[in-house]
Structures are given as structure tokens and as C-alpha cells.
Amino acid sequence: VTTQSPLSLTVAPGEPASISCRSSQSLLHRDGKNYLDWYLQRPGQSPQLLMYLSSTRASGVPDRFSGSGSGTDFTLKISRVEAEDAGVYYCMAALQTPGTFGHGTKVEIK
Amino acid sequence: EVQLVQSGAELKKPGESLKISCTGSGYSFTNYWIGWVRQMPGKGLEWMGLIYPGDSDTRYGPSFRGQVTISVDKANNIAYLQWSSLQASDTAVYYCVRRNVVAVANVYYYYGIDVWGRGTTVTVSS
């Protein structure tokens, strides 16, 4: 089970935001990597990859996004929220095939 | 350009069968897992399962095993998701995705679910 919090948050442009993800089992593989991804689904769009292996930004993802954590507890941070960051953020436990998505965190911009 | 192109929207009646498709292009189709993700109206993402086109190894999510069939035509770079008897609860958007894992000298490198199709909307209604 993968649990996200909060379920939703409203952030003013330029302010920071933080989303937590907790897994019921450790996502730390014997290769030393944490198999936890983050995805963003903007309204009316397909989800897109933001972060994989807990802290590696996907191609084209701005550096205001950062991921951290290990084992069972993970965090996605946005240093300065912009209007285009609105949408639903999902974490996904990727250690097993297929993985398990969290229920999502809806981010709205003030 | 790497892309997954999905078949169009479907409107079906309960009890009918359905097979939707996903065509990969711009990469070596047989070397990457292809998966299906369900999103019911207003809800989150759910893994249905994945298939490795190279050897047809298929893994299903526990909620979907026995409910759907995932298959592949590797000669034509197409993955399929099919139902034998649809129910109203199958109404959803279904995303085709690529799971990027690269093997180098028996070491596996993971790069996330890096390609998503636009989704196929399936509506089941009498």
C-alpha cells in the first residue's frame, strides 16, 4: 500500500509545496536504489514522469522539483510553485512489477 | 520520436467483448515492458498489468488477474488489452505506458514509466 499526504493543497505562486508518500514495504533494492517514482497529471492530460528512483528528475523537468527519501518515506518538493504545476501528483512504488500508485495529491494554485 | 498511439474511444454494452490497442514507434518495441493503467472517472491511477514483448512475459495487478487479457503482436509493435465480457464498472480511461528498464551486461537500469499514450476512453452502458 502506498499512502500520500495531503490529499490536496492550495499554494500561492512562488511559494514552496511538499507532498509525502509512504510505502507499507521498503522500496530500497539490494542495488542501493529506492524504487519510488513521482508523476504529474495536469487537467485533461495524460500523466507524465517527474522523478524516478526517488530523486532523479526526468528529462525536461525543472530543477524546482526535487525528490528525497529512502526505504518507506519519501517527499516531493517544489521550491517555488508556478501556475503550470497545478494538477494531481502521484507517487508510485516501482519495486515490483507492476507497481502501486498512491491515491494522488491535488495541487491547486491560488 | 518515441510514442505510443492508442486506438479510439469505444462505446459498448454490458456483456460485450472488446480489444483495444497500443502501437509503439520510435524505439525497439521488443526491449521494453508495455503496460496498461486504468483511470476510472474522477479517480486515481491503477496498474492493470504489463507485458514484455520480447518473450510475452505478462504480469497482472492482483485486481485484474482473470478479468482482462494483455497480449502483444511484436511483429507489428502492438500491445492489446481485452475483455471477454464488459461491465459498467469497466467504464474508464485506459492508458498504455512504457516501463523503461535497460539491461547492460546483466545489470538493470530503471528510468521510470517514461512514455504514456493519450488514453482510450471506454464507456460501457446499456
Q: What is the per-residue pLDDT across B5-42, written as a single tens digit (0 to 9) for each?
A: 999 999 999 999 999 999 999 999 999 999 999 999 99
The neighbour count for residue A50, using CB atoms within 10 Å, is 22
Confidence of residue B106 (pLDDT cuts 50, 70, 90): confident
Who contacts B104 (Cβ-Cβ below 8 Å, separation ≥6)?
A: none
Kindly state the DSSP code that residue A58 receives in the 8-state scheme: P
Question: For B60-101, how does the pLDDT look when each residue is reduced to its tens digit (9 = 90+)?
Answer: 999 999 999 999 999 999 999 999 999 999 999 999 999 999
pLDDT range class, residue A101, cuts 50, 70, 90 = very high
Nearest by CB to A46, from B47, B60, B95: name it. B95
3-state secondary structure of A83: helix
Closest residue in A to B118 (Cα) is A46
Asked if the model's pLDDT at residue A102 lies above 90, the reply is: yes
In the predicted model, is pLDDT for residue A64 greater than 90?
Answer: yes
Residue A97 has pLDDT above 90, yes or no: no
**Count of beta carbons in the 10 Å neighbourhood of residue A24:** 10
- Residue B32 corresponds to which cell in the numbers above? 521494453
Cell digits for B43?
A: 479517480
Average pLDDT, chain B: 96
Whether B79 contacts chain A with CB within 8 A: no
Residue B30, phi then psi, degrees to nearest 5: -75, -10
